[in-house]
Amino acid sequence: MRSKALPLLRQVLSVLSCAPYGYVSIPKSHGAEARLEMHPDEAHLVKLVFRLFLEDQMSPHGIARHLTAQGIVSRHRAPVWHTSVVWGMLKNPAYMGQAAYRKTRSAPRQRNQRRGPHPARYPKRLYSSRESRPERDWIFLAVPAIIEAKQYEQAKVKLEENKKFSPRNNKKHPYLLNGLLRCKACGFALYGTTNSARHAADVPLSYYCCYGASAFRRRRGEVCTARAVRRDILEAVVWAKMEELLQHPQAVIEEYTRRVHETQNHDDDLARLLTHKRMERRRALSEKDRLLDLYQSGVITKDEITERIAACRATLQMIDSEIRYLEAEHAASAQTLRVIEQLDHFTAQIGAYVDN
């Protein structure tokens, strides 16, 4: 981090991996530092996005569909605009004249990838995902402004208000199976949605829909022709099946045994990762002890050992966090096995709740 952050504090733009949409990166040349300059056509589209969001009251999802319908291609010549791209534009402070660096950091990947075409497997690298940093940790750099600061602040407030009505914060229409269903035809996850009543006498209907059937989300259109399923009907079927399984726990045990055999590779990967991380920890401790011995024998100076010991401690801290993560996974798997083994007792405990 330090190798990139310090040049940025000196107003050097070369650390930015890619210029934000609306700008072009001008490399460092004789007598001039690297800089960002406004791209006229892209800047015009940025202004359009903010106008649609603030004045026309369109959602990021609606803006993405509008741009796709107008045949406007992205910077990479993609004919389909995604909601996440529009959302990122609305949150980017570069457009008000303050480009930001270090906005995200590495984080453990979430295992439940609801929109993926296949069930999530254990990540081979623990810190393979990204999460947002607090805004106070960002490093800002002045660039040409495309919109006014007032517009950016208005968009920021509006995005925060939209979170209250986001599907992940939905309280009005609870979806019992949200995040648990996958399409048999294409493997994508199903999401819950509710149609608005057109008339006062109509009752809004809720459905589970396949992400693969959303044509506007993909460059080549829909990848699945599965129809939406009524929420009340599907949940009633699943609930009835659950009651049946609890009344006949042997069927659950047989299903669990079958899945254990199918996921044996996952368990083997987990065991190998734990062994590998523990070996890494032993090597890091040995390196730390070796450095202390060298310092005590006068081979290296205090200044030399200080930086290297700090690196060893950082490595040990990261390895320890990864081991805790893996051990938690192992404990969760063992807990599931114990529940299955004691399913008769578990069924008796929740039987009264199921009847109600």
Domain extent, residue 24, equals 2-103+138-163
Asked whether residue 72 is assigned to any structural domain, the reply reads yes
Residues 67 and 155 in one domain: yes
Residues 35 and 59 in one domain: yes
Asked whether residue 306 is assigned to any structural domain, the reply reads yes
Give the CA angle between residues 328, 334, 338 to the nearest 5°.
140
Asked whether residue 9 is assigned to any structural domain, the reply reads yes
Domain count, the chain: 3
Confidence class of residue 47 from pLDDT cuts 50, 70 and 90?
very high
pLDDT cut 90: percent of the chain above it: 10
| Consecutive H or E run containing 7 | helix 2-9
Residues 226 and 266 in one domain: no
Nearest residue to 189 (alpha-carbon basis) of 287, 119, 102: 119
Residues 59 and 155 in one domain: yes
**198 or 256: whose pLDDT is higher?**
256
Asked whether residue 241 is assigned to any structural domain, the reply reads no
Residues 335 and 269 in one domain: yes
Other Cβ atoms less than 10 A from the Cβ of 293: the count is 11
Backbone phi, then psi, for 189, in 5-degree steps?
-75, 160
Mean confidence (pLDDT) of the chain: 76
Residues 198 and 259 in one domain: no
Confidence class of residue 86 from pLDDT cuts 50, 70 and 90?
very high
Residues 54 and 184 in one domain: no
pLDDT digits (tens, 9 = 90+) for 48-59: 999 999 998 898
Backbone phi, then psi, for 156, in 5-degree steps?
-65, -45
Question: Above 70 in pLDDT, residue 279?
Answer: yes
Asked whether residue 238 is assigned to any structural domain, the reply reads no
Look at 152-161, 184-193, 254-263 and tell me which has the smallest mean pLDDT. 254-263
Q: Is 23 helix (H, G, I), strand (E, B) or coil?
A: strand
Residues 31 and 84 in one domain: yes
Q: Is 155 helix (H, G, I), strand (E, B) or coil?
A: helix
Question: Above 90 in pLDDT, residue 126?
Answer: no
Round to whole Å and give the CA distance between 316 and 328. 18
Token pair recorded at residue 113: 């990838």
Confidence class of residue 244 from pLDDT cuts 50, 70 and 90?
confident
